[in-house]
Chains A and B, each alone.
Chain A
């Protein structure tokens, strides 16, 4: 499976350009979609999931065009939206059964086996008869991914899946995603939690203001910030100036001041110690220095396209 995005544009009524001539490929495996709020990630995913149309350009799933081959594309898709809630009057297993049914799993017995297997996989078998609305936040998210992956889709798109989860649930969730990323499955993970990307994704793309700003491996991105991340002790009286001058990655209180990590092109003093960058440092360096964008993006408004809007 291969996804080809070709010259994709999306202009909303009112003129806001959410996607601007976007073109890149996605290979099998976990793919991270990174970008600040309003970068166009959700619009891109909604177009990929056929919830809305592009103004121009297209996306190919192998050779299937989203403009023409919707049935085939939908049959290989699994989707977990960001703001995913439940019909409260469904039980956990029913929700999966409903999804399994629509994913084309026929026969009560087959469906039951698939549902039970999936419940085991996501650790919800024990609560299979609980009302979906009564599950905890982490469980709900697991149920969400379960419904997205039931029926063995070839492309799974998950939007901000770990937001609001405790570390344990986040790790659990990442593991589930890792388990399912097989040879020919594409998992597109949209997030602004860059840590999720570094630990799971083989490749990533960074969007900003609807444009592709980076495409490559997490290591490539980290490499861009090599020698640009510094650790330094700053006394209390200088902290304010430094904060205004540089993007600060972390601050740890120390005796009479702060041990901080800073992203900067050059060291600001002799006591600045260069440290190896990680993906988070790279993301900040990329946004602040390469794109010169402080991430003060406006929210992507009006992107929701409802059934009976």
Chain B
């Protein structure tokens, strides 16, 4: 039972990550491999806020979101006018730099060994330690995040995103500025990723650089792609598949010393197969968009 609750926590954190990334990738057509960087920023900021600044969890989480948004704004301001392929490479740069900072700025992050002993969140006098209670917290956060994300992908804002995905020139002729919209959406997604990061820190009690590297970014991206980018429930389907399947593998009986490699090989193969499968429709839906 506790295992299932643990899975629920993991699922809800990834739900926030995948849904926020889908706004970028599926709806606005901007591929990013830097999502884990902001996930990590959120985790580390929340950790330091709780441990060093002795802030309560909710405030720490809010601070994490603010820092994530501000950092993203600074990085993306010059990037807004970049062509699509250059933008992807720029996100790669951001991710690698972030990983390097997480590992090497030891004064702040304690480097590769990470930071332990993060206390579980306490809200209104109630402690959310343990999977059971934390699942409530993370579940609620996920519902709020997904709802907010839905608001940006429907209505006039969603229409604008979809237009940017298809043809920025059309948007320009309508007197609108794709560059500004991109920055705003990038920062919004980064903020949600940072929120997920603070939840992670509060739940696991331990943050380290390996959780927030390029591989993690690619994992989140795969959840979006496998589930079906640009739809409504797509990313959540991808989350379910890519969180539960490796857990299921654990029961299959692959020897422990190769489990991690086998998992990653399967994951890499999945990426290849899925991108071939998507083919021309690529990472944006070739199907009808529903409101």
Answer yes or no: are A and B bound together in one complex.
no
Chain B: residues with CB nearer than 8 A to chain A? none
